[in-house]
Structure 1
C-alpha cells in the first residue's frame, strides 16, 4: 500500500467513507499558509501623555492567544515576564511607586500584552509586543503623566485608562483597561454592529479583549455600563478621549473635578481601590 493511500473503509457507510477520503486527500495536498499578520499602533489611555507610541506586529485574531488576568496570582508566564519588564522600565523612567503586588489587570492577545498596576493614588499602564529581538515596541503611561487623574473620583461610572487597537482601516481587535465605580455591575463593549464583548470587573478595575477583528475607530463602538438591576447607567464612545466629549463632572461639594465648568455638569463618582 502506498504511504498516502487512505485506509480501508471497513464497515463505514459508503457516503461517509467517500467524505473522509476526499477530506484527507484535500488536506494532504493543500499547502500550509503562514498566519496573516497586520500592523497595529498602541494608543495608551484616554487624556494621558503616552510615553511611547510605535508600530508593531500582531497576528490575526484566529491565530492569537487570549488571556485576561486580575492580580499577580493569575498571571501566565509570558504576562509575568512582561510585568517585570514594565516594572523595570518604570524604575528607569517614571518611578511610579508600584510593585508586582499592585498589578490589577493584565491582558494577552497574541504577540501583544497590556498591563495596569493600580494603587489608591497611582497607576502605571504598559503595552508590549513580542518578540523583543524582532522590532520590539511598546508604550507606557502613568498617573504622573495624566493631568486629569483624580485618585478619589471617576468621570461618571467608568474611566478608560488604557486602550490598544488595530490601525487596519476595517478595524481589528482591541484591549481596554480602566476603572469602574461601585455602581457598575456589568460593563460591555457595544461594537455598534450587533456584536457585544463583555468586560471582566474586579476590585474597581475592568479589562476586556475583543476577538472578532472588526472594531474600528471609525465606527460606533461604545463602553456601556449597567447597574445591579440591569439599567444602563453610562454610555461613552470607546475611541473618543475624555477631554473631547465636552462633559464635566463635579464632586459632592460642587467642585468640578473633570472637564471644564459648564451649566450641565454630571456627578463624579467616588472610587476606592478594592483589594
Structure 2
C-alpha cells in the first residue's frame, strides 16, 4: 500500500538564480510506499533548511534527480516495521532524523564515529534507503523519486530506516527536535568530539549562525571555561550573550583585545571567518 503525500522535489540541478524564477524545486504529489521491516513512517512536523540542501540545488554536491530534499526534520511515528519495533520504535513516538545512518558493523562504524558508515554513505550517495531502493514515486506516472540523505523531510510524511531516526521526549518541541539532527549535531559535535574540550578550556566560536549558536550552547552547558562568541553582526552577539556567552566580540574587537584560546570552532565556512579563527 502507499500513502499520498506532498513534498518539495528537486527536478533540476544548477538552475540559474534567483531560484524563485528558475524554480528547480516543485511541490508535487507523490506515492510513499509503506515501511519495510527496518523502517518507520513519520508524519513530518518540522524541517529546517540547511546549506547542505542548497549544495544539492546548486550542484556543489551532485545527487541523482528527481530528489525529494530535506534532511533536518522531526515528526511523529505513524507506522512501524517489525524490526524497527524490536529496536523500540512505537506509533506516537516523536523522532528526530539522522542524516547519516550507521550499520554498526562496517570498518567506518568500528571507528566509534570518527569515520562515516560505509553502507550508509553509499545509500545516501545513491539516493536510497539503507535497505535499498526508494519508497517514493510521482503520483500518476509512477516515476521513481530519490531520497535525500535517507530522510527527504521537505514533505508531509517520510519513510526512513530505523537507523536514520532517534526517539526524543514528547516535551521537546518539533522545531527544536528538527535542528538536533544537523545543526546541533554539527556545532555541538565540533566542541565535544573534534575539539575534545576539557575542564578549564576557554572556547571561542566564530560565526554565530545556527551551527555556531549550537556550538555556543554546547560549550556553555559544559561549564569548562570562558565561552566567547565572535561575529560581525551585533544582534547575533547580543543573542549569544542571552544564550550563555561570557564574552562577545566582533572580529576586529577580538583582534584588538588579543583574545587567545585553546579551542576555536569556526562555524561560518567563510575565508574571513577562518582567518579570524586561525588568529585566535
- TM-score, reference length from structure 1: 0.25
Which protein has the bigger strand share?
A: 1
Which protein has the bigger helix share?
A: 2
Q: Which has the larger radius of gyration?
A: 1
- TM-score, reference length from structure 2: 0.25
